[in-house]
Chain A
């Protein structure tokens, strides 16, 4: 189980900011980010890739998505 970042309901750029903070804090491992718009899903994935992390999985969940990113 990785860390979970709940960014549902937050507007741009909060989901990315929260993801970046978590990436900085953990430096490696697995982070699950909960978002509720397609824009946030794309932005969070793009931000993770720019930090050298990989997007392991994007699952539809409830009204949004659960994005799992991995850093090694």
Chain B
């Protein structure tokens, strides 16, 4: 069967789909310019299960659950579910952890960088520039033979572990729903103020997540891959999707009154431009070395890729480190140890890039 989503119009359609829904999620309750942010939402999940205790960023985000399960459904419907694992899992875990730390120094994943730009946040320009530089460094490693090695086919149950984890998270959320003005419900933590307290209704978030997960699995949508393929192969296929996302999100923001151009007082953003740039260099490099943006890692995990699942868990643990050790930024600027963590992260990524080359 021909996969329409993998065509040029398919990827443009998916970009438009996300470009409309992300700003609407913000309209329905999600934080500013954060209709969808894979890094921020995974960070909130980390907080919801108490792996960090930053009171303002704790919420079990149904969008993330939907991304994985939507991808799982698409993969099964189109016979693309393939359980596989075993390609340098420890490296993928570390890359996930540092990708998250870099993203939280900037305050957003590549998706949110685009959505921040579409909402008028000028600081996103520095973040995107950093992302591109990070990916460019990653392509240099790829060109010189960097390779994480082969994954192998494995038991179907291995591919199910991430989707089952997400189903478990959903069940926890249903057993322990948010209680008005209470910071805790059973084992789950909920923010009373800050971005963690801002969210669209559960059912809407879940349904949008499922839809985006389904469409992104079919189209192979990847914000990192968009830049990587353009730099490495001069191939603009994924880039068309990314461009459509920005343009459509910009138009949607204009229509619903969410476009506010400027650099200062942007929602959940800071103006320390060197570190907006530096954080995303780290994140972009880590994504490029791991082979996909954080959204793509979720969709791959949904279609049975155990190594991508390890990357996702690396991001969740990275979020724990970021908030327990003061690495994450806030609207006031970078955290007390954010700069040190960014530099260490870059050194670790360079170590991985230089030492894991076949033709080294």
Q: Which residues of B contact A (CB under 8 A)?
A: 3, 6, 78, 80, 82, 84, 87, 142-143, 147-148, 150-153, 220, 222, 225, 228-229, 232-233, 235, 237, 291-292, 307
Collect the chain B residues with CB atoms within 8 Å of residue A14's CB.
Answer: 147
- Compute how far the CA of A41 lies from the CA of B349 in the bound complex, rounded to whole angstroms: 29
Please tell me if the beta carbons of A17 and B142 are within 8 angstroms of each other in the complex. Answer: yes
Chain A residues, Cβ within 8 Å of B222: 12
Q: Which of A12, A17, A37 contacts B225 (CB 8 A)?
A: A12
Instruction: Kindly state the separation between the CA atoms of A21 and B232 in the bound complex, as whole angstroms.
Output: 12
Chain B nearest Cβ from A11, distance in angstroms: 4
Contact of A27 with B by CB under 8 A: no
Other-chain contact of B87, A9, A46, A63 (Cβ < 8 Å): A9
Residues of A within 8 A of B307 (CB): 11
B interface footprint on A6-26 (CB within 8 Å = 1, 0 otherwise): 001111111011001000000
Beta-carbon contact of A50 and B151 below 8 Å: no
Beyond the given pairs A13-B142, A38-B78, 8 more chain A to chain B contacts, judged by CB atoms under 8 angstroms and listed by A's residue number, are A8-B150, A9-B151, A10-B147, A10-B150, A13-B225, A37-B82, A47-B233, A50-B233
Chain A interface SS verdict (over half): helix
Interchain nearest-CB distance for A72 vs B (Å):
21
B237 with A36: CB separation less than 8 A: no
Interface size on A, residues (CB 8 A): 20
- Do residues A39 and B220 form an inter-chain contact, with CB atoms below 8 A? yes
The 6 closest A-B pairs by CB, nearest first: A9-B150, A11-B291, A12-B291, A9-B151, A42-B6, A38-B80
Query: Which one of A20, A39, A46 has the highest number of Cβ atoms from chain B below 10 Å of its Cβ?
Result: A39
Whether B237 and A46, one on each chain, are in contact in the complex, defined by CB atoms closer than 8 angstroms, is yes
Q: Which of A9, A16, A20, A50 has the most CB of B within 10 A?
A: A9
A17–B291 CA distance with the chains assembled, in angstroms: 13
In the complex formed, the residue of A with least CB distance to B152 is A9
Q: For residue B78, which residues in chain A have a CB less than 8 angstroms away from its CB?
A: 38
For B218, give the chain A residue with the smallest CB separation. Answer: A38
